[in-house]
Amino acid sequence: MMDWSILIEKSILVVILFLISLAVAAYSTYAERKIAAFLQDRIGPDRAGPWGLLQPIADGTKMFMKEEIIPNASDKLLFILGPCIFMTTALMTSALIPWGKSMNIGGHEISLQVANLNIGILYIFAIVSIGVYGIMIGGWASNNKFALLGAIRASSQMISYELAMGMAIIAILLTSNSLDIRTIVDQQVGFKWNIFYQPLGFLIFIICAFAECNRTPFDLPETETELVGGYHTEYSSMKLGLYLFAEYTNMFISSAVISCLYFGGYHFPGIDSLHLSQNVAALVSVAVLFSKVFFFILFFMWVRWTLPRFRYDQLMRLGWQILLPLAIVNVLITGAWLTYFK
């Protein structure tokens, strides 16, 4: 009987998470266009619904209605598989994020986290790495030189920056002694946020997160000026939609990971002194986490409409010659500090 209730509880959580991820991704496209417009002294989309709020729905409808083109010379199976892998992996990572404190409904403890693995961060990294295959396969299967160039750029960029990202995480793992994200979050209760202990690590991590999400200034896989559309040049209709959508989902998830690892996740200073009942406290903690996540999504966009993109050799030099040594130094400093001062 107990097993069934857990299955139902987790299924409901999964469905809610799925819907939230998709909704956030959809409205990220709207927010991106609005922010781009505001930062350029324009208004942005304002025709569909009040303030253009129905724009994502209109865009989605457009994507579905478009003609589906699969190039003749492409590998049909891989061509379809590419966006599927990219979207699936983008959605899978949200399962490990602790979205809030646990709730209590009818004496039944409900953890607002789909799965609590003790290797949480490793799982997220593994899944994000698989996401590269979505881009790689799609670019290769298109049988188009621009798509292939975009895919090569994407894969080499993501692999390069994953190293520095992993190194930045190791410093966090050293201080927290755990790979479990909920443990890491709970250690930052109050105002003991990791950013204050790991400022360099945070800087490296967020730069790498930009590169992992293919966001400006690292959006070389889809440089319109050089590569037409990059790895999704040959894609049309909802398959293109899936690629674009998954990128925004990735941005959402990486914002959540940044919030959890460096900004105390669902904790907020003074949240315990309010003496809220357990369920209300849980909902407040979810709201706190989401406000942090939305801040980082906006930050991603803010940076996008400020910086121009790197040249490819600059990107590689930054990744291998600057970020990776810096991350290693950060690990060494953290290790030395833990050894001699703790």
Partner 1 sequence: MQSLTNRSVVVRKKEMSFMEKLYLPAILGGMVITIKHLFKKKVTNKYPEVKRIFAPVYRGVHVLKLDEQGRENCTACGLCAVACPAEAITMIAAERKSGEENLYREEKYAATYEINMLRCIFCGLCEEACPKDAIYLTDRLIESKYQRKSFIYGKDLLVEKVDERIDVSKRKRNYKMA
User: Residue holding tokens 């790991």?
Assistant: 198
- Based on the shown chain and the rule CB under 8 A, indicate whether residue 311 belongs to the binding site for partner 1: no
Instruction: Count other Cβ atoms within 10 Å, centred on residue 210.
Output: 22
Q: Which residue in 7, 12, 16, 43 binds partner 1 (CB under 8 A)?
A: 43
Q: Is the CB of 99 or the CB of 210 nearer to partner 1?
A: 210
Q: Name which of residues 84 to 143 contact partner 1 (CB under 8 A).
A: none
Question: If you write DSSP's letter for every residue of 218-257 in order, what string do you get?
Answer: S-GGG-HHHHTTGGGTT--HHHHHHHHHHHHHHHHHHHHH
Q: Which residue in 39, 119, 170, 179 binds partner 1 (CB under 8 A)?
A: 39
> Which two structure tokens, joined as six digits, stand for 7?
């299955």
* Residue 108, beta-bridge partner list: 105
- Based on the shown chain and the rule CB under 8 A, indicate whether residue 303 belongs to the binding site for partner 1: yes
Q: Is the CB of 299 or the CB of 337 nearer to partner 1?
A: 299
Buried b (16+ CB within 10 A) or exposed e, 292-307: bbbebbeebbeebeee
Q: Which residue in 51, 305, 312, 320 binds partner 1 (CB under 8 A)?
A: 305
Which residues have C-beta within 8 Å of that of residue 138, sequence separation ≥ 6?
Answer: 78, 79, 82, 83, 86, 147, 151, 231, 232, 235, 243
Q: Name which of residues 162 to 221 contact partner 1 (CB under 8 A).
A: 203
Total number of residues binding partner 1 (CB under 8 A)?
Answer: 13
- Based on the shown chain and the rule CB under 8 A, indicate whether residue 46 belongs to the binding site for partner 1: yes
Select from 73-81, 100-108, 193-201, 301-309 the region that touches partner 1 (CB under 8 A).
301-309
CA–chain centroid gap for 125, Å, is 11
- ∠ CA 156-118-120, nearest 5°, is 30
Q: How far apart are CA 127 and CA 60, in angstroms?
A: 26
We find the least distance from the C-beta atom of residue 42 to partner 1, in angstroms, to be 5
Select from 39-47, 76-84, 108-116, 226-234 the region that touches partner 1 (CB under 8 A).
39-47
Write the binding mask 258 to 297 for partner 1: x where contact by CB under 8 A, - elsewhere.
----------------------------------------
We find the least distance from the C-beta atom of residue 59 to partner 1, in angstroms, to be 20
- Based on the shown chain and the rule CB under 8 A, indicate whether residue 41 belongs to the binding site for partner 1: yes
* Percentage helix, strand, coil for the chain under 3-state DSSP, each rounded to 5: 75, 0, 25
Q: Is the CB of 44 or the CB of 265 nearer to partner 1?
A: 44
Interacting residue ranges for partner 1, rule: CB under 8 A: 38-43, 46, 203, 302-303, 305-307
